[in-house]
């Protein structure tokens, strides 16, 4: 059996890049439970509303409220988002299990092969999650008008340059 080191190195570099991207993505997520909405918030379609997504805005984030979506578009986006959430639930559970079962490299019981296999498994799941997310966003884009797509693109570019807007209700101290 001939070992092709070039393919192994390329695969290892690819897995390392995907793992690094996953670390960056997960490191940017807020830690701990979300704060309760202020009094009077939680009714209607905003954050905290019954059946609202966990972040309160859906897959398009806070830009949703600026797009003047029709009821049809809102319902279609909710269906697409719910379908995405259901279809990726098993992947999220697998990722969670892999993270929970990962041995602490600082414990003194480090096994490189086991650690590498776990990291590669997480990288594969991350790829599947990113592809599923891209498919979801493509489906959502198909129901937006050209004007809404232009607004969304402009907001994304603005956010890329200046950073995300403060949360509703002002900055958290």
- Give the domain CATH number at 107: 1.20.120
Give the residue-averaged pLDDT of 4-27: 73
In the predicted model, what is the mean pLDDT of the chain? 77
- Cα separation of 9 and 11, whole Å? 5
Confidence of residue 49 (pLDDT cuts 50, 70, 90): very low
pLDDT score for 165 = 67
The whole-model pTM stands at: 0.56
pLDDT tens for each residue of 84-121: 999 999 999 999 999 888 888 788 888 888 888 889 99
Domains in the chain, number: 1
Range of the domain at 113: 70-167
Asked whether 67 and 60 are in contact (CB, 8 A), the reply is: yes
Structural domain contains residue 17: no
- Count of C-beta atoms within a 10 Å radius of residue 172: 8
- The CA-based angle 132-92-17, given to 5 degrees, is 70
Structural domain contains residue 76: yes
- Token representation of residue 34: 């979300």
- Give me the helix-helix angle, 112-141 and 71-101, nearest 10°: 180
């Amino acid at each position: 059996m001939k070992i092709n080191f070039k393919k192994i190195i390329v695969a290892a570099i690819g897995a390392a890049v995907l793992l690094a991207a996953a670390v960056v993505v997960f490191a940017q997520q807020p830690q701990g439970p979300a704060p309760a909405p202020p009094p009077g918030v939680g009714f209607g379609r905003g954050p905290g509303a019954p059946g609202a997504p966990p972040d309160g805005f859906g897959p398009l984030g806070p830009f949703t409220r600026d797009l003047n979506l029709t009821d049809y578009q809102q319902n279609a986006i909710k269906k697409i988002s719910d379908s995405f959430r259901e279809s990726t639930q098993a992947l999220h559970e697998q990722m969670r299990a892999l993270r929970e079962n990962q041995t602490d490299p600082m414990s003194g019981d480090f096994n490189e092969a086991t650690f590498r296999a776990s990291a590669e498994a997480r990288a594969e799941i991350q790829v599947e999650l990113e592809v599923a997310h891209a498919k979801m966003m493509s489906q959502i884009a198909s129901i937006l008008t050209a004007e809404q797509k232009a607004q969304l693109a402009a907001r994304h570019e603005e956010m890329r340059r200046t950073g995300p807007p403060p949360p509703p209700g002002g900055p958290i101290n």
